[in-house]
Chain A
Amino acid sequence: ESCPSIKNILLLDSEGNRVAVKYYSDEWPNNSVKEAFEKSLFTKTQKTNARTEGKQFVFLFVHSHLSFSSCPDKKYHSLTFHNVFIPFLFTAEIAMFESHIIVYKFVQDLHFFVTGAENENELILVTVLQGFFDAVGLLLRGTVDKKEALENLDLILLCLDEIVDGGIILETDANVIAGKVASHSIDAAAPLSEQTISQALATAREHLARSLLK
């Protein structure tokens, strides 16, 4: 009763079609009910102002490096992204819809939604949305659009898997989420070479520059 719970997380494209979705509640018993929900939610939120017109996507490049941190026991390694991209211009929007509270953010042709119960603390939901949104931004290295998301669908799906488990919030910090997902390309058993890191950095820079010049 009292533990905050997430009913679903949706990532839809500019026509309301699925890129990736995850339902944690059995309120939507089958796929057609889910699709109907997504369609009407999409239609309803299209009219609102979650999308800022004009300049569509700007990331502030503050301070970028990938750090390789070790845990005290020297066994746990993770990649952490420090302030690589800070998306701004976008604040999450919110709506009541069919007795759910829905928080959402749109960027390019991607639409991020998080659904919670009617009486849920809105700010908890928005924390989850922000975690998802920023983690996807980190994992896609700044190019957050449908094409990039589909090409890296494995990362998106792992990202969903790391944020919420069976409706319970697992992690909300985008850096940690992205770190857990990204760590998959590195076998912790094998030593991580300096080269890998600089390569990763270079790719990130390149992506970013491209998306800024677009």
Chain B
Amino acid sequence: ADYSPFLGIEKGAVLQEARVFNDPQLDPRRCSQVITKLLYLLNQGETFTKVEATEVFFAVTKLFQSKDIGLRRMVYVMIKELSPSADEVIIVTSSLMKDMTSKTDMYRANAIRVLCRITDGTLLTQIERYLKQAIVDKNPVVASATLVSGIHLLQTNPEIVKRWSNEVQEAVQSRAALVQFHALALLHQIRQNDRLAVNKLVSSLTKGSVRSPLAQCLLIRYTSQVIRESANNNQAGDRPFYDFLEGCLRHKAEMVIFEAARAITELNGVTSRELTPAITVLQLFLSSSKPVLRFAAVRTLNKVAMTHPMAVTNCNIDMESLISDQNRSIATLAITTLLKTGNESSVDRLMKQITNFMSDIADEFKIVVVEAIRSLCLKFPLKHRSLMNFLSNILREEGGFEYKKAIVDSIVILIRDIPEAKESGLLHLCEFIEDCEFTYLSTQILHFLGIEGPKTSDPSKYIRYIYNRVHLENATVRAGAVSTLAKFGAMVDTLKPRVFVLLRRCLFDNDDEVRDRATLYLNTLGGDGAVVETGEDVKEFLFGSLDIPLEPSEEAFDINSVPKEVKTQPLAEKKAPGKKPTGLGAPPAGPPSTVDAYEKLLSSIPEFANFGKLFKSSAPVELTEAETEYAVNVVKHIFDGHVVFQYNCTNTIPEQLLENVTVIVDASEAEEFAEVASKPLRSLPYDSPGQTFVAFEKPEGVPAVGKFSNMLRFIVKEVDPSTGEAEDDGVEDEYQLEELEVVAADYMLKVGVSNFRNAWETMDADCERVDEYGLGPRESLAEAVNAVINLLGMQPCEGTEVVPNNSRSHTCLLSGVYIGNVKVLVRLQFGLDGPKDVAMK
């Protein structure tokens, strides 16, 4: 039944057939048919090899012998499709040039199009004379063909095409509509970088009459451009060319009317007076019988509604009738426009209409509507009840993942931004997870519940929903539910016993992860009677964002070795994925990077546990050059009576495994320090950083300083890179590291004060000391200021660390907390005075 003239067509056979092109007696009809077949093959996505294409091309060139006009048309199309190479082009050049000067218009027009398509610059100069003539050819088809070719050529040979502007300008005056359109497009492109010329072009054409609607559309675009560019030097008075745009609203062609209306709505800082006529025209389009017109109008009004909602309200009645438009794109645009322009009182009526509408549009449109409703709710928070109800209703209906996710995201945002909506929103989410087919959404919501639920007035009502998940869902969701239960337990003391009961039941789950989590949380929360960590630690553990332990290790897992991520996550990612350890490909655990993490890390090491509160940890100091065999940096941890050096080591040799890594520290130049403990690193495989620690005792509360020399000592084992296995026997080796110093700044915490003067005044005058120091010759005042700040390790206040250029003197305010919790404020006065004097109060 499905007859096709190309049924069973096959490339090889058609290429064979193409031999008829070489016949001495050409049969034009048959040749046309073969070309059609070749074009059919190409059109269906078939490709010719280089050889095949060349063969076809040469055969086709033979067809120029035929006088048959229809065949010639097909030959032109075929040559364009084959896009011949430069040396092939030469073969047809003369034939095409002959056609180009033919008396037959159709030959001229098409030969020019083909030649300009396949030619390069050198040939272009040869035929330029003919092209210039063709631009002003009496036949509009020839003129248009040349002008359009000129537009293409301008990209590759601008210097040649620019020489044609006289002829092009003449063609702009053509009586043929399309010639005018093509000439205007080319002329503008030739002159587009010359603002004055474009301005002149627009000025003259807007006065005259452009016949072609397409050309008129172009002129409107160019006019908008001129208006945009002249906006800066035309503050007051009427906008230039506005009258022209407004006049175009009364054009007979709809495309021109629409182009003008759209241009007006897009004017910079458009006033409502300027907008009105454009909106009126667009409003008429809204009730057109043509879907394209309705679509164009509603899409433009939708954009206007973002910046000028009031201007669009006049169209609301027409817009409401579009909600039932057959074309769902139009209906969606209408609804979202209405949601933007609607006022508080119309929200409820609108929601009623949308409810009917939602049932018969595709998910992609529903998502747009959900997003619009979200913005509406943020705009009218008082309406949160009906909008939230709407969201929860559509959440219960059928829908794909993206759609459901958009709804859940919206509810979460509303909960976050509208406090009154929180409780009802959370309950809606709870009800949703009772019957949610998307694991991802369930876990996200459970995570969110864990954070927000405990802060509500009655956290207990959420427990049932969460615990139901443990019964009814897959392992991933069950694990998420266990974590959420634990969070309730941690935050709400009254719920703790009940949470323990529930968590204990989870100990019998058949999934490892669920059981592990239950065990872990029971342990951290104290549900198994063990010694409990402090509440803060538990919360930090449960709510902080932890990195994931990655490598399987023989050592007992130590949660403290898991670094915490400190980067604040952007708002959009607030609902970070659950903490299920899935990230096997994530980066290896780097050195801990915050004081908190350091503190946690150090307190987890029994030897250092009794050192008291960590006062300060320095930034890592490199003890090796870059790209050495072993990269080591050190972090200095200052305690009241102790100093701990944390050496972060990285082994950069794939063929080696280091074991029993320690740092031998010589403290002979640091008399007040005495080594008390050293914690070696058992194993340091390739490219996996590890830490070793050395602790010193020092006089309590005294800012003792000193210099330490370091030697890395370890047992090195050869590793077979192909198997990754290390040999049994190792050799002891040492590696010299650079020296390390403990300086005064290590005992200073950078703590800013908000009002330095106040803080200064309230301090006891007895504490005040004034000294003067000579800093010796310095590069600049700024350099001196910086050096002193670094030396003291204090926090500059009120931006005083910045020294204005060329100033002769500067006052710098610093604040900090010195070891022993002594608050320190410093006022530094620098003067440029040969050798710089520093007065320090």
Enumerate chain A interface residues (CB-CB to B < 8 A).
2-4, 18, 20-21, 31-32, 34-35, 47-49, 71-73, 75-76, 91-96, 103, 121-127, 146-147, 150-151, 153-154, 157-158, 161, 165-166, 168-172, 180, 183-189
Contacts and interface: CB of A to CB of B under 8 A. Distances in A.
Contacts of A20: 43
B77 interface: yes
B327 interface: yes
Q: Which 10 A-B pairs have the closest CB atoms?
A: A31-B45, A184-B70, A123-B255, A122-B296, A2-B221, A154-B36, A126-B292, A94-B295, A76-B105, A49-B326
Nearest to B73: A184
A150 B289 contact: no
A196 B138 CA distance: 27
Contacts of A73: 138-139
Contacts of B117: 166
B264 to A, nearest CB: 14
A161 B148 CA distance: 13
Contact of B217 (A76, A121, A166): A121
Contacts of A18: 43-45
Interface in B156-211: 178, 181-182, 185, 188-189
Contacts of A161: 76-77, 80
A54 B47 CA distance: 41
Interface in B211-241: 214, 217-218, 221-222, 225
Given A76-B139, A124-B214, 14 more contacts: A18-B43, A48-B328, A91-B292, A93-B292, A95-B327, A121-B217, A122-B292, A122-B293, A124-B217, A127-B255, A154-B74, A161-B80, A184-B73, A188-B106
Given A20-B43, A154-B74, A123 B254 contact: yes
A123 B258 contact: yes
A15 to B, nearest CB: 9
User: What DSSP secondary structure best describes chain B's contact surface?
Assistant: helix
B254 A168 contact: no
Interface size class of B (residues with CB under 8 A): 35 or more
Contacts of B221: 2
Contacts of A188: 69, 104-106
A171 B362 contact: no
Contacts of A93: 291-292, 327
Contacts of A183: 69, 106
B178 A92 contact: no
Contacts of A154: 32, 35-36, 39, 70, 74
A155 B35 CA distance: 12
Contacts, number: 157
Nearest to B254: A123
B349 interface: no
Nearest to A19: B43
Contacts of A150: 4-6
A103 to B, nearest CB: 6
B826 to A, nearest CB: 59
B105 A171 contact: no
Nearest to A123: B255
Nearest to B43: A20
Given A75-B103, A75-B105, A166-B148, A94 B214 contact: no
Interface of B: 3-6, 32, 35-36, 39-40, 43-45, 47, 67-70, 73-74, 76-77, 80, 103-106, 113, 117, 138-139, 141, 144-145, 148-149, 151-152, 178, 181-182, 185, 188-189, 214, 217-218, 221-222, 225, 254-255, 258-259, 262, 289-293, 295-296, 299, 326-329, 362
28 contacts: A18-B43, A18-B45, A48-B326, A71-B138, A73-B138, A75-B104, A91-B292, A93-B327, A94-B292, A94-B327, A95-B329, A121-B258, A121-B259, A122-B258, A123-B292, A127-B255, A151-B5, A153-B36, A153-B39, A154-B39, A166-B117, A168-B148, A172-B178, A184-B69, A188-B69, A188-B106, A189-B67, A189-B104
A48 B258 contact: no
Residue among A123, A147, A158 with most chain B CB within 10 A:
A123
A2 B222 contact: yes
Nearest to A44: B362
Residue among A94, A103, A150, A189 with most chain B CB within 10 A:
A94
B151 A171 contact: no
Given A170-B144, A186-B69, A94 B291 contact: yes
Contacts of A127: 214, 255
A27 B307 CA distance: 32
A121 to B, nearest CB: 5
B189 A3 contact: yes
Contacts of B291: 91-94
A171 B138 contact: no
B255 A121 contact: yes
Nearest to B106: A183
B45 to A, nearest CB: 4
A161 B76 CA distance: 10
Nearest to B72: A184
A49 B152 CA distance: 37
B6 to A, nearest CB: 6
A94 B105 CA distance: 37
A180 B292 contact: no
B45 A187 contact: no
Contacts of B326: 48-49
B151 A168 contact: yes
Contact of A170 (B139, B178, B254): B178
Nearest to A71: B139
Residue among B254, B255, B362 with most chain A CB within 10 A:
B255
Contact of A123 (B32, B103, B293): B293
Contacts of A171: 144, 178
Contact of B218 (A2, A71, A172): A2
Contacts of A122: 258, 292-293, 295-296, 299
A186 B289 CA distance: 40
A20 B44 CA distance: 8
A136 to B, nearest CB: 15
A97 B131 CA distance: 39
A205 B290 CA distance: 30
Given A35-B45, A94-B291, A154-B32, A147 B258 contact: no
Nearest to A184: B70
A125 B104 CA distance: 31
A153 B117 CA distance: 23
Contacts of A189: 67, 104
Nearest to A185: B70
A61 B671 CA distance: 112
B296 A157 contact: no
A44 to B, nearest CB: 9
A169 to B, nearest CB: 7
Contact of A158 (B73, B189, B296): B73
Contacts of B138: 71-73
A61 to B, nearest CB: 23
Given A2-B222, A92-B291, A168-B148, A121 B69 contact: no
B296 A34 contact: no
A157 B77 CA distance: 8
A184 B75 CA distance: 12
Contacts of B145: 165, 170
Nearest to A151: B5
Contacts of B152: 165-166, 168
Nearest to B300: A122
B148 A165 contact: yes
B104 A92 contact: no
A151 B291 CA distance: 32
Contacts of A147: 3-4
Contacts of B68: 187
Contacts of B144: 170-171
B39 A3 contact: no
B45 A103 contact: no
A176 B293 CA distance: 25
B296 A121 contact: yes
B214 A169 contact: yes
Nearest to A17: B44
